[in-house]
Amino acid sequence: MNRIKIAAILVGVIFTAFAIRLFSMTTAGQFILEVPGWIYFLYAGILLCAYKAVQAFTDDRKKEQALIEQEGEVIMKKVRDRRAKRDPQS
């Protein structure tokens, strides 16, 4: 597993533990009714931001990897051309 997946799992576990702790202190219905509605939007926003951050990081990493592979192919082509010039028999 890479670091991003581990971090996302840890954030999820901490959020779940927090939610379980809150639900264990009060009954679920009472808890839901007592918490202001904007808090749920705040939780949803935090989760959405975390998801988008992970998604952006993985997309950037894929683009960077593709660029590295492209540059490596250019270098390998130059190496092949030099070898072909030096040793025309093969």
Q: What is the pTM of this model?
A: 0.53
C-alpha span between 60 and 55 (Å, rounded): 9
Question: Which of 59, 53, 52, 45 lies closest to 15, judged by CA?
Answer: 45
Number of Cβ within 10 Å of residue 47's Cβ equals: 13
Q: How confident is the model over 8-23, as pLDDT tens digits?
A: 888 888 888 887 777 7
Residue 36's pLDDT band, with cuts at 50, 70 and 90, is confident
C-alpha span between 90 and 75 (Å, rounded): 20
